[in-house]
Amino acid sequence: MTSPSMPTPSWGSPLVRAPQSGAPTIVHLTAEYSPYARSGGLAEAVMGLANVQVRDGANVVVFVPLYRTVRDHAPDLAPLGRPITVSLGFRSEEVRFFREVHAPKGPKVVFVDIPAAFARGGLYGEGGRDYADNARRFALYSRAVLDAIPRLIAGPVLVHAHDWHASLALMYMRSYADLRERFADTPTVLTVHNGGYQGHFPASQLNDCGIPPELFTFRHVEWYGLINFLKAGLTHADMVVTVSPNHATELRTADGGFGLQEVFQWLGNRFTGIVNGIDQTVWNPATDDQITANYSADDPSNKSRCKSALQRSFGLPQRKRTPLFGFTGRMVTQKGLDLVLKSHLVWNLDAQFVFMGAGEAKYERALTALARARPQHVGVQLDFTDRLEHRLMAGADLFLMPSQYEPCGLTQLRAQRYGALPIGRQVGGIADTVEDDATGFLFDEFDAQALDHAISRALARFHDPMAWAPRMKTAMRRDFGWERSAERYAEVYRRAANIARTR
């Protein structure tokens, strides 16, 4: 992992120095970061935001656990400073910090090495089961980062935590006497990428996580007798963001708040929604080197070549005018696969459907059975690859997103850029980014008949070239870059700084 001739450095030289402007270094705490560790949209969302912040002139440091997967993308790592000891409860762990020897331009990525916690086969679990010690794993990560920040970064910082995995860092900053003093003026922001995942653990793990017993109340970290990591972050952050305005509204409701709606309501104007973006230099069919042929809104003719290639990849007949529906994502209940499997049209329509992703075994089995029953119409790939995702976007005519809920969603952003119009439920970020009967087709009820009605509306347009072409071109010209979202985050940071100054 490290060069044998490379000595372990002292902590004498900070990784980042404050600019003359006095602007704080933005510090992202995240359990996933593309390409090093990825299980869903979190990794790409944090990477996209961090990259555009660097392009805008900010100092940005990202702290990520050193999983085994990191070494697949960064085999040569160099140590940063000496090991430190992190104590939580009655146990201590040695923690080291690393950077890539030949780090790419952009944010400075620091890998937090806690072998007992992260040198494993999975990010959160294996064999369909979560690791039993996930609470302590991510508590150690969060605490270790706070000890590393003053050693690696000179000058003021803003701490931006993402999802439940990093939420305890915000609680530690406001609860431990030494950290309260060290980070007294430090603004904090928490982004909730998926409120359905909160980090629930038994109260017996309070000590292992270093949570002061006096914080185990309904006002801080307690949730129906359990520890709730996300709640700990929500109740200690200066500002809270979720990943679309519509989802911010949903989280304040009993139906959409996942049991934390009262906390989101309590936050008041300290809680807002900002739509995620995508890297439009990567997701651009005019320049994408991972697809069969390039095309654009001005000349989409090569999209038919991409469709033929996708049909070949999934073993389907190459039929140019047969509508081709795509689906890519985690195969879990949230993504609405129950509706797909109950859909009359999916089982009977003279159309083609391609599914890519992995997840719950029941959905993998059901989709595989569907493909066996309709081999000329359905293809399934359970092994996700980035290249195939690009080819799927380029080759599909339509994209299925019948999500039960969707905080933001990146799939519908990419699909529109590639002229594959989404068919999605009018929830969360889908409602914020897809215009019904203009760049996609929306439906309301979480019901297979409602999905079928939306599919029928979409096919009526698809089979009328004079109606389909302008809708496809409009979708392809949508601007989903991170630049606008980064501007809104900058305003959130300013508000967080004002709160920190008056705390």
Which residues contact residue 114 at a Cβ distance below 8 angstroms, ignoring those fewer than 6 apart? 65, 66, 86, 93, 94, 95, 137, 140, 141, 144
**Residue at token pair 């950077």:** 99
d(Cα 392, Cα 326) in Å, to the nearest integer?
A: 7
Chain centroid to CA 246: how far?
A: 17
Q: Are 188 and 180 in contact, with CB atoms under 8 Å apart?
A: no
pLDDT digits over 393-432, tens only?
999 999 999 999 999 999 999 999 999 999 999 999 999 9
Which residues contact residue 324 at a Cβ distance below 8 angstroms, ignoring those fewer than 6 apart? 307, 310, 311, 351, 352, 353, 354, 395, 396, 397, 398
What pTM, to 2 d.p., does this model score? Answer: 0.92
CA distances 496 to 135, 157, 159, 270, Å, are 27, 12, 10, 8
CA distances 463 to 253, 270, 316, Å, are 40, 47, 20
d(Cα 150, Cα 271) in Å, to the nearest integer?
A: 28
Chain centroid to CA 145: how far?
A: 20
The residues that bridge with 160 in the sheet, in sequence order, are 28, 189
d(Cα 361, Cα 363) in Å, to the nearest integer?
A: 5
Q: Are 164 and 229 in contact, with CB atoms under 8 Å apart?
A: yes
Residue 223's H or E segment, with its range, is strand 222-223
C-beta neighbour count of 21 within 10 angstroms: 7
Q: Are 55 and 68 in contact, with CB atoms under 8 Å apart?
A: no
pLDDT reported for residue 9: 57
The residues that bridge with 99 in the sheet, in sequence order, are 78
Give the residues of the chain that fall short of pLDDT 50: 1-7
Cα maximum dimension of the chain:
70
pLDDT reported for residue 193: 97
Burial (Cβ within 10 Å: 0-12, 13-18, ≥19) of residue 479: exposed
Q: Are 188 and 500 in contact, with CB atoms under 8 Å apart?
A: yes
